[in-house]
Structure formats: C-alpha cells, structure tokens
Amino acid sequence: MSMMAMPDHDPSNGYESVATEFMARREQSGIGAATVRSWARSLKPGLSILDLGCGHGVPISAALMDDGFDVYGVDSSPTLAAMFRDRFPRAHVVCEAVEDSSFFGRKFDAIVAVGLMFLLPADVQDRLIRRIAQTLSSGGRFLFTSPAEACIWKDVLTGQQSLSLGADTYKDLISNAGLVLVDEYLDGGDNHYYDSRKR
C-alpha cells in the first residue's frame, strides 16, 4: 500500500513562486518607504535595523541603507534573498522563515516588518511579536504593518490567505510582549503601521 506524500510547507507563503512578479511590482512602487524613513528619523544613523520579510530589499531596506543604517534582512524566499544579496553586497541577509530565524544571534536597535505580519497564522504572529521584543535592545523600536480591522483576505499575488488580527488584538500582543505602543500611521497605500518601543 503506497503512502501519498504530503506537500511540503512553503515557508515563503507563496512568494517564492511569484518572486519575479513581486520584484517587478515593488520596483514600480515606493509605497511604505517615506513612512519608514520618517519613522527612522527618531533613530540615530548607523544603528542596526532588522528588516523581517525584506524581500529583495526594495524599497524599505534600500531607503534605510540610504539613510545610513546598518541593515540586516531576513526573507524566506531563496530568489528574493539572493537578489537582496546581489543588490546590496555590504548588507547582511539570510534566507530563513521569520518564525524559525536566529535573527543573526544578536540584538537590534530597531526592527521593521512591512507587509509580513498578516501572512502568518494568528499563533505565529503572537510568538513572533514576543521574539521580536526579546531581540530588541532596551528602548529599541518595532514597526510593523497590518490592517486596523480584523479581517481575512486572499493575497493578490499568491492567492494565499492573509489574516489581520485587528488593532485591539495587536495592541494587546504588543503590551503583553513588553512593548509600549508609541503611535500608529497610514501610508499612501492606506497601509496601517504600529510603532512600538521596548520598555
């Protein structure tokens, strides 16, 4: 009796299969870069920033590097991580799923996760926020995006499920992880940002 092989879990949440299209779209859209740059003005140039779900580095990591920050990237798509490495050879990048990443085995002054959190299941989002809090230096900042409304939708590129836990739940998770919500923002694409600081 033969056993049917179960399909392997895709740690890139479908983005490896659409990497080329994703890169083309992000090259044409700078949405998020201005908001992240404005947020980063409260940080000292040269500080270390971890970009989770960094993709090929455009536009978020590129904007932070242009402003003088020491950027480390984590992305689970081999194609996107390789393109990041080719494009920014002086930056640091690893191809790892954020939920399993070692985060380079170090602390960071700030962490950003733009367009990532809602790709993950609810329990993984909770664990990730806690791990991020542990990875931040004292007083470190964490900025991430997810809709303010609790909702489920299909990702435009991959067709996979996206899940926002909603602002009230995110605020609870932030507080429970030992972070303090500093502010919330919207960018030009109506993406909702949560800005928090480690106590």
Q: Note whether 91 and 65 are within 8 A (CB).
A: yes
Q: How many CA atoms lie within 13 A of 39 on its CB side?
A: 31
* Confidence at residue 2, expressed as pLDDT on a 0 to 100 scale: 39
What length is written for the chain? 199
> Average pLDDT in the 169-177 region?
98
> Average pLDDT in the 10-24 region?
93
Domain 30-198 = CATH 3.30.1370.100? no
> Average pLDDT in the 53-64 region?
97
pLDDT tops 80 at residue 4: no
Q: What is the pLDDT of residues 65-107, one digit of tens each?
A: 999 999 999 999 999 999 999 999 999 999 999 999 999 999 9
pLDDT tops 90 at residue 183: yes
* Confidence at residue 10, expressed as pLDDT on a 0 to 100 scale: 87
* Confidence at residue 177, expressed as pLDDT on a 0 to 100 scale: 98
Q: What is the mean pLDDT of the chain?
A: 94
* Confidence at residue 8, expressed as pLDDT on a 0 to 100 scale: 59
> Average pLDDT in the 129-145 region?
98
Q: Any idea where the domains of the chain sit in the sequence?
A: 30-198
> Average pLDDT in the 14-27 region?
94
Total-model pTM: 0.93
Q: What is the pLDDT of residues 76-86, one digit of tens each?
A: 999 999 999 99
* Confidence at residue 11, expressed as pLDDT on a 0 to 100 scale: 86
